[in-house]
């Protein structure tokens, strides 16, 4: 009997067998928006498998809802997506108001719609400025933050908050708008719209940006539907669905909501959807300001009892948040705290599709794809 051993091995070994490499991106990586970890299996420079690993920012928001009353849970609901705080507050108060059978004053309805669209623009401007950073362009973020600061001043004046507004209340809004605020808001909307062309020209006219994003990270309509992806990412792949138009809430049923779509489904299409959505939201903000100017003086909230108890039952409210569909399933046992509040966040579904989206792409394109998914990690982990 003979035993054969290989005692030396050279470059020709790769011809006999190949070995995949596992690469961890994160959980502390500068090109991810928060503490996300991606475990990639590489075949050379090409990704053969991808696994998003989440939970590093999990704070147990849904469990915390159960030990706070219906006024207090608003402060928790606006923190998981820190770029969409006002919009996240809305889902909670809409669910509670539906359980109470409460009619909200018309001035509150239109003001909520206005502030939700301003918050949408703030969210999109952050990604419009930060996404080019992923592919090496630093200048756009300064332009985006110039517009963000103008809108932040408007939001901060009305609510007192810079990121976590806490301006929604069950039954309406916290307080009346400051004197002259609508005129200042209208002026700011006009200024931002006039200067959006700078961002458009700077980024969309850049041939390097277009080369890094066109045809990269194509997400099909079938993948969108399988994973429940929503928002601008879904609409960039031809899914023509927007709750503001298709199942209106607040004042959207009285507005002409322009839904921005593309069919290519690549990184460039997702960016274009975000850019065009800013213009559509600014138009909606103007329409809301016009309507508020026509309304007679009146209350902006409902008077509530000292202890607010929601009747026994359950309901589901969903909203078209800046990053996609947020859902709120509320179960009440007739007490002053929710028995259960289940949160369906847009980013959670949107990031899971990376499992199918990344394989087959180069590592060099992974950052461009990841940045185009427009997620907030707190919105994933909750």
The mean pLDDT value for 339-356 works out to 90
Q: Which CATH superfamily is domain 27-380 in?
A: Cytochrome-c3 Hydrogenase, chain B (1.10.645.10)
Q: How sure is the predictor about 33, in pLDDT bands with cuts at 50, 70 and 90?
A: low
Measured CA angle at 251 (ends 248, 254), to 5 deg: 80
pLDDT at 183 over 90: yes
Cα-Cα end-to-end distance for the chain: 63
Measured CA angle at 236 (ends 78, 268), to 5 deg: 100
CB–CB of 52/352 below 8 Å? yes
The mean pLDDT value for 167-179 works out to 91
* Per-residue pLDDT, 151: 95
CB–CB of 379/81 below 8 Å? yes
* Per-residue pLDDT, 3: 52
* Per-residue pLDDT, 82: 82
* Numbers of helices and strands, H then E, in the chain: 16, 8
Look up the pTM and report it.
0.89
The Cα–Cα gap between 131 and 140 comes to 9
* Per-residue pLDDT, 18: 58
Q: How sure is the predictor about 8, in pLDDT bands with cuts at 50, 70 and 90?
A: very low
Q: How sure is the predictor about 313, in pLDDT bands with cuts at 50, 70 and 90?
A: very high
Tokens representing residue 126 in the block: 């952050």
* Per-residue pLDDT, 9: 45
- Sorted by where each begins, the domain ranges of the chain are 27-380
pLDDT at 32 over 60: no
Taking every pair of Cα atoms in the chain, the longest distance, rounded to a whole number of angstroms, is 101
The mean pLDDT value for 172-194 works out to 93
The mean pLDDT value for 90-109 works out to 94
pLDDT at 55 over 50: yes
* Region for 34 from its dihedrals, namely left if φ exceeds 0, alpha if ψ lies in -120 to 50, beta otherwise: left
Radius of gyration from C-alpha coordinates of the chain: 23
pLDDT at 153 over 90: yes
* Per-residue pLDDT, 379: 85
Alpha helical stretches, state H, the chain: 13-16, 61-65, 73-77, 85-100, 106-134, 140-159, 181-204, 207-213, 221-227, 232-235, 243-246, 267-294, 346-352, 354-357, 363-371, 377-381
The mean pLDDT value for 354-363 works out to 90
CA distances to 24, 67, 220 from 93, rounded to whole Å, are 40, 17, 34
Between 104 and 29, residue with greater pLDDT: 104
Lowest mean pLDDT among 32-36, 76-80, 283-287: 32-36
* Per-residue pLDDT, 258: 93
Q: How sure is the predictor about 60, in pLDDT bands with cuts at 50, 70 and 90?
A: confident
pLDDT at 13 over 50: no
Going by their DSSP bridges, the two strands 46-53 and 168-169 should be labelled as: unpaired
């Amino acid at each position: 009997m003979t035993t054969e051993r290989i005692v030396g091995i050279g470059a020709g070994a790769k011809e006999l067998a190949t070995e995949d490499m596992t690469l961890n991106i994160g959980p502390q990586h500068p090109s991810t928006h928060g503490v996300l970890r991606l475990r990639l299996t590489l075949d050379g420079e090409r990704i053969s498998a991808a696994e998003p690993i989440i939970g590093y920012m999990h704070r147990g928001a849904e469990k915390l809802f159960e030990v706070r009353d219906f006024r207090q849970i608003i402060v928790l609901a606006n923190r998981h997506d820190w770029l969409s705080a006002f919009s996240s507050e809305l889902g909670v108060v809409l669910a509670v108001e539906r359980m109470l059978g409460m009619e909200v004053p018309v001035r509150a309805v239109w003001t909520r719609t206005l502030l939700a669209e301003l918050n949408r623009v703030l969210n999109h401007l952050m990604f419009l400025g930060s996404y080019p950073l992923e592919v090496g362009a630093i200048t756009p973020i300064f332009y985006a933050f110039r517009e963000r600061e103008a809108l932040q001043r408007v939001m901060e004046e009305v609510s007192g908050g810079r990121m976590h507004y806490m301006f929604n209340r069950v039954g309406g809004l916290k307080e009346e708008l400051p004197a002259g605020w609508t005129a200042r808001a209208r002026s700011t909307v006009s200024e931002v719209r006039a200067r959006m062309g700078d961002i458009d020209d700077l980024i969309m006219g850049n041939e390097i940006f277009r080369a890094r994003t066109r045809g990269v990270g194509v997400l099909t309509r079938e993948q969108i539907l399988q994973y429940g992806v929503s928002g601008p990412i879904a609409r960039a792949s031809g899914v023509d669905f927007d709750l503001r138009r298709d199942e209106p809430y607040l004042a959207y049923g009285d507005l002409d909501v322009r839904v921005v779509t593309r069919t290519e489904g690549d990184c460039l299409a997702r960016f274009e959807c975000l850019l065009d959505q800013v213009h559509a939201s600014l138009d909606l903000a103007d329409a809301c300001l016009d309507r508020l100017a026509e309304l007679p003086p009146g209350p902006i909230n409902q008077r509530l009892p000292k202890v607010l108890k929601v009747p026994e039952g359950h309901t589901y409210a969903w909203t078209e948040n800046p990053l996609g569909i947020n859902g709120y399933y509320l179960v009440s046992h007739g007490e002053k705290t929710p028995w259960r509040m289940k949160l369906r966040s847009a980013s959670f579904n949107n990031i899971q599709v990376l499992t199918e989206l990344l394989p087959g792409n180069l590592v060099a394109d992974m950052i461009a794809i990841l940045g185009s998914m427009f997620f907030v990690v707190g919105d994933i982990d909750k």
